[in-house]
Every structure is written in structure tokens, then in C-alpha cells.
């Protein structure tokens, strides 16, 4: 654990290293919104049960923040260790070491451990000699803190004790999950914690793959670009569509590393296609001028380094900025403020195009057109499917298309499935479309063969 307060003239103690994904970890911790909240009887009871099970004077649930650790359970802290406040400095935190290594940390005798021998918790009135802590892994697979026990006597911890501590740390994570404000955000009874841990493992194992659907010039049939669509090659369940895992990715915050990975993969693949000469006038007439559209979630857009992430993807891949279009939905833009406006301006200044996806399905389409001035609007498939159904449906679709064209935006129609839909869209002035009429989303290998082969 950490010293009760900074002490003057105390020896310098080694500080715990930062977690390899410290920025993501801190964002995950804060998304739970439990820091600096009141006492929690359930968490206190779980900590007390942990102390009894491991026969230790005290146990606590410690959440490791940027420069402090905050105790989500405070039972016995004052009586046993003399804590006057529910937090201590991170600099001398035992639990920070547990978080950094992301596995159980056992210290049988802190006085003989170079990391802790001069720690204020060891040399001061707390007189901590033994420590065991198990990481509390949140829904996105990152450690939030630790469930730990402390003793004033040096002692060994049996393997059964360590296993029990790890199991109880999982229970802590489940309790925190129940208290998370967005725990029931459209996910029903899904096992979010288990699913998010599996998804984190899948991202780290590079099981996420990108399929591509052509964006077609209607007058010529030429493939102008592709939209990047993520899939998960699940080792047990096979190829999963986005609906099977993106809700959990959004809820857990994993959409940020997932989106970063997809962006880099898509930019790299399209840059490769652009550099590959056609071998005889392929379906797309060659890929020299191919562009790619990649979805950007609201969570990604709110990250402080979003502009750097996009810039890095372009630099690493070698893709020209003008060949990248970032698709934003009206939902992802809802509730955003000046920070997002500045990020979008910086992205556009780099030459990247912005598209408003699912246009017409939100509650403030016109307001977003005025505020963000997108380069492209994408007419949602529901309006394409309604063409020819009634005069009212045709008028609504034609009005959306006309508005985009009059504002000087490129207009792309999504979900085109029949030649009749393509003809009606062309009559309304749409020149660019995508859908199963032209091609379903395909793997890079399958689509690339059509791009460069006769």
C-alpha cells in the first residue's frame, strides 16, 4: 500500500512503473465514476471477508489513480493502520506495483524487499511487513486497482490464499460493474465483464480483421473507394459481425484501441492497393486513386490524442490524407463540445475528409450539417429501401439528397440492392453508391483480386 502522507526527510523509495497502457487504464478507471464517492457497504463487506479468509489484520480495495490511490473500502483502515483520509500517495503504493505488473503481487517481508524496505508504510507507525494484492480487472481488461491484504508480521502466503485473493478481486470487479452508471446502457443481461475481457484478448491477439465494401461511381461502375468494416475472427465462435461485439466495445471503452487498430489496418491496406498496378483493367479500373472510409466513434472522437492517432496512421501507412474519409454518425456527435470541434477542424486541416454517416436518421441532421459542414453525407439504407414505396417516401429521400447536393457535399447512397434503386438514385442526382448490388463486404484478399485482376 502507500504511506499515510508525505513525510519530510524520508528515504527515496523506488516508484512503481506505469502500466503499459496507462492512459487507457486511467480513462477506464474514471469511466466507472466511483472515485471520491461515499462508503459502500458491499465493498466493505467483501474486504472484511477477504481479511478473514486470509487471516490478515486488514484488507482493502485500492483504486490506483494518476497520482494517488483511493480506497473504495475503508473498513478497519483507521483502527488498524491509522488512516485519517481514504487515499494516499501513489509514489509509495504497493498496489501501484500490482497494477503495473497486472498480476498478483506477494511480498512476504517488505523489510527484505528492495522495492519496499524504505517505504513509509514499512518504516513508519503502520509497520506493514507482509502484503498480497490481486489486480481488479475492469470490463476493458485493464487493472483499476487491487484487492490487498496487509500484515504487521512477515508471513508466507499459500498458493490457495493467492488463488482465493484473485477470485475475490474478480468479485470486486463485478460489484464495481453493477455500480457503473452506464452498466445497463442497452446491453440487457449480457455478461459485459466476461465479453469485454475476451474482446481485449482478441484485440491484443490481432483477431480483429477488416473487410471492405466497394464505393461505386454509378455512371461508370468504377470502384472509387472502399468502406472499412471490422469483423472478429473469434477462435471459438468463428467470424463475428460488428453487432456481436461493438456494443460491448463501446460500453467498455475498448472501441478506442479497436478503432485505432482498424484505422491503421485500413490505411495500410488501401495504400498497398494504390501502389499495386492493375494487370488488365480490373473491376475497379485499377486502385491508383482509391480512397477509404473508416468509421470514427464518439468515444474515439473525444480522446485528447485523436488527431495524433489519425496522423500516425497516415504516416505509418503512407496513405495520402486526401485518400482517407472519416465517417461520423449523428449519434457520435451528440453532446460534443468545443474540444471535438477543434479536433475536427485539425483533422480537416490535414486534408482528411469528413462524412456524416446514416444521414437523416438522427434528431438534428440539419443542425449537424450547419455545425460540422461535412464533405460527404451518406444517405442511410432505410431511405434507399423506401424508394418507390410511396410518393411521401420518395419525396423524403429526394429532399435529403437535394439538400446534400445543394450544400456542395458529396452524396453516397448506402444499401443499394437492386438495379431499380440504382436507377432511381441516379435520376435524383446521386453518382456514388455502395451495397450488395455491387459487392458485399469482402476480405482484403478477395477484394484485392478484383481490384487488380481482369
Least confident of 1-10, 16-25, 168-177, 247-256: 1-10
Give the CATH number of domain 192-452; options: 3.90.1150.10, 2.40.50.100, 3.30.499.10, 3.20.20.450: 3.20.20.450
Q: Per-domain residue ranges for the chain? A: 22-179, 192-452
Instruction: Identify the pLDDT of residue 80.
Output: 54
Neighbour count for residue 289 (Cβ, 10 Å) = 15
CATH topology of domain 22-179: Beta-Lactamase (3.30.450)
Instruction: Identify the pLDDT of residue 45.
Output: 85
Instruction: Identify the pLDDT of residue 311.
Output: 96
The answer to whether residues 216 and 419 touch, using CB atoms and an 8 Å cutoff, is no
What mean pLDDT is reported for the chain? 84
Instruction: Identify the pLDDT of residue 414.
Output: 93
Q: In this predicted model, which residue has the larger pLDDT, 210 or 91?
A: 210
E-state strands within 243-341: 291-295, 324-329
In 3D, which of 367, 379, 365 has the Cα closest to residue 430?
Answer: 379
pLDDT digits (tens, 9 = 90+) for 194-243: 788 889 899 999 999 999 999 999 999 899 999 999 999 999 989 998 88
E-state strands within 90-218: 105-107, 130-137, 143-151, 208-217
Instruction: Place 259 in a pLDDT band, splitting at 50, 70 and 90.
Output: very high
Separation between Cα atoms, residue 324 and residue 311, nearest integer Å = 11
Q: In this predicted model, which residue has the larger pLDDT, 21 or 413?
A: 413
pLDDT digits (tens, 9 = 90+) for 297-315: 888 888 888 999 999 999 9
Instruction: Identify the pLDDT of residue 19.
Output: 92
Residue % of the chain over a pLDDT of 90: 44
Amino acid at each position: 500500500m502507500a504511506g499515510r502522507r508525505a513525510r519530510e526527510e524520508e528515504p527515496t523509495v523506488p516508484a512503481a512503473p506505469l502500466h503499459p497502457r496507462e492512459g487507457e487504464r486511467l480513462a477506464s478507471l474514471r469511466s466507472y465514476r466511483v472515485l471520491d464517492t461515499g462508503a459502500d457497504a458491499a465493498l466493505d463487506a467483501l474486504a472484511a471477508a477477504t481479511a478473514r479468509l486470509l487471516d490478515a489484520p486488514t484488507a482493502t480495495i485500492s483504486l490506483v489513480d494518476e497520482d494517488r490511490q483511493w480506497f473504495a473500502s475503508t473498513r478497519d483502515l483507521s483502527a488498524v493502520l491509522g488512516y485519517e483520509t481514504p487515499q494516499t500517495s501513489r509514489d509509495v503504493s504497493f498496489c501501484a506495483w500490482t497494477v503495473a505488473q497486472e498480476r498478483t503481487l506477494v511480498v512476504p517481508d517488505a523489510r527484505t524487499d528492495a522495492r519496499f524496505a524504505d517505504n513509509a508504510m514499512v518504516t513508519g507507525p503502520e509497520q506493514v511487513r507482509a502484503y498480497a494484492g490481486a489486480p481488479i480487472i475492469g470490463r476493458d481488461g485493464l487493472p483499476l486497482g487491487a484487492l490487498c491484504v496487509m500484515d504487521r508480521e512477515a508471513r508466507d502466503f499459500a498458493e490457495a490464499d493467492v488463488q482465493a485473493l484473485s477470485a475475490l478481486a474478480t468479485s470486486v470487479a463485478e460489484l464495481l460493474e453493477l455500480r457503473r452508471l452506464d452498466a445497463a446502457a442497452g446491453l440487457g443481461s449480457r455478461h459485459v465483464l466476461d465479453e469485454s475481457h475476451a474482446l481485449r484478448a482478441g484485440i491484443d491477439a490481432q483477431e480483429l480483421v477488416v473487410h471492405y465494401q466497394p464505393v461505386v461511381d454509378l455512371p461508370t461502375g468504377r470502384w472509387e473507394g472502399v468502406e472499412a468494416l471490422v469483423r472478429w475472427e473469434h477462435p471459438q465462435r468463428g467470424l463475428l459481425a460488428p453487432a456481436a461485439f461493438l456494443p460491448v466495445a463501446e460500453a467498455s471503452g475498448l472501441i478506442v484501441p479497436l478503432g485505432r487498430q482498424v484505422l491503421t489496418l485500413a490505411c495500410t491496406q488501401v495504400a498497398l492497393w494504390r501502389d499495386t498496378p492493375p494487370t488488365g483493367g480490373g473491376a475497379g479500373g485499377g486502385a491508383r486513386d482509391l480512397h477509404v472510409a473508416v468509421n470514427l466513434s464518439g468515444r474515439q472522437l473525444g480522446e485528447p490524442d485523436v488527431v495524433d492517432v489519425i496522423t500516425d496512421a497516415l504516416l505509418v501507412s503512407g496513405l495520402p490524407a486526401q485518400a482517407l474519409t472519416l465517417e461520423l454518425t449523428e449519434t457520435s456527435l451528440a453532446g460534443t463540445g468545443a474540444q471535438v470541434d477543434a479536433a475536427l477542424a485539425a483533422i480537416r486541416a490535414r486534408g482528411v475528409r469528413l462524412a456524416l454517416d446514416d444521414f437523416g436518421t438522427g434528431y438534428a441532421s440539419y443542425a449537424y450539417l450547419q455545425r460540422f459542414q461535412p464533405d460527404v453525407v451518406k444517405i442511410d439504407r432505410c431511405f434507399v429501401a423506401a424508394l418507390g414505396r410511396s410518393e411521401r417516401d420518395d419525396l423524403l429521400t429526394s429532399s435529403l439528397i437535394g439538400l446534400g447536393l445543394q450544400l456542395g457535399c458529396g452524396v453516397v447512397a448506402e444499401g443499394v440492392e437492386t438495379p431499380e434503386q440504382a436507377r432511381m438514385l441516379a435520376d435524383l442526382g446521386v453518382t456514388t453508391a455502395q451495397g450488395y448490388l455491387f459487392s458485399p463486404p469482402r476480405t482484403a484478399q478477395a477484394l484485392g483480386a478484383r481490384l487488380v485482376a481482369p
